[in-house]
Amino acid sequence: MLENMLYRFEGFEFDVALGCLRHGSAEIRAEPQVCALLALLLSHRDRIVAKDELIDAVFGGRAISDATISSRIMSLRKLLGDDARSQRFIRTVHGRGFRFVAATERVERSVTCDTGSQQRAGLEPAVGRPSIAILPFRHLGARPHHPGLSHALAHDLIAALCRLRWLRVTARGSSFRVGGLDPAEAARRLAVRYILTGVVESAQRRLVVAVELTDCSSGEVIWADRFAGSADDMFAIREAMTARVPAALDLRIPLNEAAHARRSGTEQIDAWLAFHLGLQHMHRFNASDGQAAGDLFRRAITLDPSFARAHAGLSFVHFQNAFLQESGDRAQETDCARRHAEQAVHLDPLDPFANFAMGRTFWLSGDLDTSADWLRRSTSLSPSFAQGIYALAWNETVAGNAAAGREHVDLAMQLSPLDPMHYAMLGVRALTHLAAGEDAEGLMWAERAARTPGAHAMISLVAAIAAALAGNGLVARHWATHARRHSPSISRSAFLKSFPIRNLRFQRRVTDCLTQLNF
């Protein structure tokens, strides 16, 4: 049995679980942030809700202006037939915050939920910033070799996941209080969408840790992994977990959020769901998906002008257009990519994705040193950010440090083996060999990259160059034809603008190959 909360006041009824506001028998349409604001004020109607608390609950802790807060308050008042002068429902306490002041009846009703039901009453609706709680891990087996490890592992992951920025992580003080509960019940009590649980088993000096990520709106386990080693390798296991788990969630949760958005229908999505749908198109690196991604990111920005990640996503789209030279004006696309990256960093300077977007804009102008500075900042903010690590590897390889590039791209592939940019990672691995004169190895990696789903024309051209350098003219012509088929306007100058190779010897070898292939 799960509780489902209703609030009734002056002819209105608000269903917290469904985010549904009614007046009499009529349902009143409200934006997700306005619903979240009403739920917050109603649940704390016995006191003043401070501005910082409101920002954390409604806007996910992002940096937003007083005007944005005032806009949401005004929207809610308008829905309720209230205004700033009468303040019949919502009172502004200047310098302190806001309070819901209308007489309110709170109704707790019991709803029976079948175990397999997709509708879990009382759980956070699939809108707004995704949220997660990490419960203390359970220990199985005999007396643990390392007492306290179960709690330490969960604490490590809380700290690591906080670096993702886009994910709201429940503090240890709250999540550890519901340890041992069923994930759905823990999620209901903490008002989160996802629960991460783990089991630690130790026997005969061997340590095994299993983790599961549950989407508590459906009860489905959407990701799981296992870490094992000698009991003496405890610190290595902890280090591997704090690297691989955030990287996995950085991929799996956005995929799941996009699936929620597709099921909810495009007319009902909020800024966060629009953003996650945009991510699905963004990584496909073609003109039609780029257009779709751009439209969704612009929609997210319209719904929430302070949404840093949506600006970073739009920067990514313009970068893609400039990198692939999909539009007729590379300079304009580069300028748009830079402006949106700057806005993203301005709105959230600690977001790894925003810093990643900024770093990649400097590729387009050939400023590899400045690019590297931004990409290192991105990966220092989130050491498990696989795409940031891959981007740094590309930069290092093109700048003439293939050894560092190979080390970083291998780490990126280890952290995110199913990454949507996996083809690009394989392509960078190929470039590290070609830059070192290891042409046969370069061809092997380049063909793997070109055959990977999502690979674009530039990747096919890398495979053509690798084959030519390895002395295999037939394979080189095959991939050159493949590149032209997917991008008829692709040229030698376009490739060298997108890949500003600094090592003159490597640059000459590439240029000669492209000339031989009639680019």
Q: Same structural domain for residues 71 and 190?
A: no
* Chosen domain end from 250, 270, 298: 250
Give the contacts of 168 (CB within 8 A, at least 6 positions apart): 60, 61, 129, 130, 131, 132, 192
* Chosen domain end from 222, 250, 278: 250
Q: Same structural domain for residues 166 and 232?
A: yes
Nearest Cα to Cα of residue 208 among 229, 187, 182, 188: 229
Q: Which residue has the tokens 């102008």?
A: 365
The reply to whether 501 falls in a domain is yes
What range defines the domain where residue 223 resides?
Answer: 131-250
Q: How many CB atoms lie within 10 A of CB 194?
A: 27
Q: Same structural domain for residues 70 and 158?
A: no
The reply to whether 189 falls in a domain is yes
Q: Same structural domain for residues 31 and 144?
A: no
Nearest Cα to Cα of residue 50 among 13, 19, 92: 92
The reply to whether 368 falls in a domain is no
The reply to whether 323 falls in a domain is no
The count of structural domains within the chain is 3
Q: Same structural domain for residues 144 and 206?
A: yes
Q: Same structural domain for residues 103 and 136?
A: no
Dist CA 123 CA 128 (whole Å):
13
Local structure of residue 177 (DSSP, 8 states): G
Q: Same structural domain for residues 138 and 104?
A: no
* Chosen domain end from 64, 93, 108: 108
Here the CATH number for the domain that contains residue 167 is 3.40.50.10070
Q: Same structural domain for residues 151 and 195?
A: yes
The reply to whether 366 falls in a domain is no
The reply to whether 356 falls in a domain is no
Q: Same structural domain for residues 221 and 167?
A: yes
Here the CATH number for the domain that contains residue 398 is 1.25.40.10
Q: Same structural domain for residues 25 and 71?
A: yes
Nearest Cα to Cα of residue 20 among 125, 101, 117, 119: 125
Q: Same structural domain for residues 91 and 142?
A: no
The reply to whether 181 falls in a domain is yes
Q: Which residues of 452-461 are buried (b: 16+ CB within 10 A; e: fewer)?
A: beebbbbbbb
Q: Same structural domain for residues 401 and 505?
A: yes
Here the CATH number for the domain that contains residue 96 is 1.10.10.10
Q: What is the pLDDT along the chain (519 residues), one digit of tens a residue?
A: 333 468 889 889 887 766 678 888 788 877 777 888 888 898 888 889 888 888 877 776 566 788 888 888 999 999 999 988 889 999 999 888 999 999 998 876 443 333 333 333 344 445 578 899 999 888 886 555 555 778 888 888 998 898 888 888 888 878 888 877 888 888 888 888 999 999 988 777 788 899 999 998 888 899 999 998 887 788 888 889 999 999 999 989 988 888 877 776 655 678 888 898 898 888 887 788 889 999 999 999 998 888 999 999 999 999 999 998 877 789 999 999 999 999 999 999 999 999 999 999 999 989 999 999 999 999 999 999 999 999 999 999 999 999 999 999 999 999 998 898 999 999 999 999 999 999 999 999 999 999 998 899 999 999 999 999 999 999 999 999 999 998 888 999 999 999 999 999 999 999 999 999 999
The reply to whether 490 falls in a domain is yes
